Amino acid sequence: MNNKIFMARANFYAFLSRMFVEEPPFELAKDIADGKLIFPKTSSLNKDIAEGLSLFAGYAQSNTNGSDIHEKMCREYTRLFIGPVPAMFPYESRYLDGSIMGRSLIKLKENYRKAGLKISQEYHEPEDHIAVELGFMGHLCMQKSDGSLMMQKEFLNDHLLKWAPVFCDELFEKSGNEIYRGIGKITKGFLASEKDVLNEKEMNENHFHK
């Protein structure tokens, strides 16, 4: 896996993490309004990513005011994740243990400790928040090593893939904003594609060593 692929994966994890950690930046809304977001052809992408990108593109065509787009996105972020009564709780322990700060959080902290990772102050949430987990995967991608690839695969299988797809489906169903509906689809599709990428890498390495 070459450096460009590592960087592309790390950057996309960072983008997704940014969308969940706090209200979306005005720059994103402005890019949507100005038609500066480049939407790739979807024929080679999995169904969820393709659907998410289609939602982004459709929203961009029907909304041309950056300030209005930003206001709507911020209002929806607040409704979904802040409240006063949040519509969604983006925590691994909420999905795996049935309550926030559950047992799975302890295992997660151990993963971070082994990787020598200290959670950045930009995250004002517990370590099992989806933004933190996505950011951790991006951190591992930046390391660009075979050991990092194994950690990526283990973390993806042991944590994100166990709960994030269900969370993403709920986000798609509960959001009234096409951007967040699209983010739900894109996140789910990207994680599925990541599983394929990491499995393919392992298969290639095993074949090489035989």
Which residue has 């047992």 as its token pair? Answer: 103
- Which domains are assigned to the chain? 3-209 (1.10.3480.10)
Q: What percent of the chain has pLDDT over 90?
A: 54
Residue 168 sits at the vertex; the CA angle it makes with 163 and 171, to the nearest 5 degrees, is 130
Backbone phi, then psi, for 129, in 5-degree steps?
-65, 145
* pLDDT value of position 209: 44
Let me know: does 69 contact 25? Beta carbons within 8 Å.
no
pLDDT tens-digit series, residues 42-99: 456 799 999 998 898 888 888 888 899 999 999 999 999 999 999 999 999 999 999 9
* pLDDT value of position 20: 95
Let me know: does 10 contact 141? Beta carbons within 8 Å.
yes
The Cα 123–Cα 153 span in angstroms is 23
| More confidently predicted of 208 and 75 | 75
* pLDDT value of position 208: 38
Mean pLDDT of the chain: 86
Give pTM, 2 decimals: 0.89
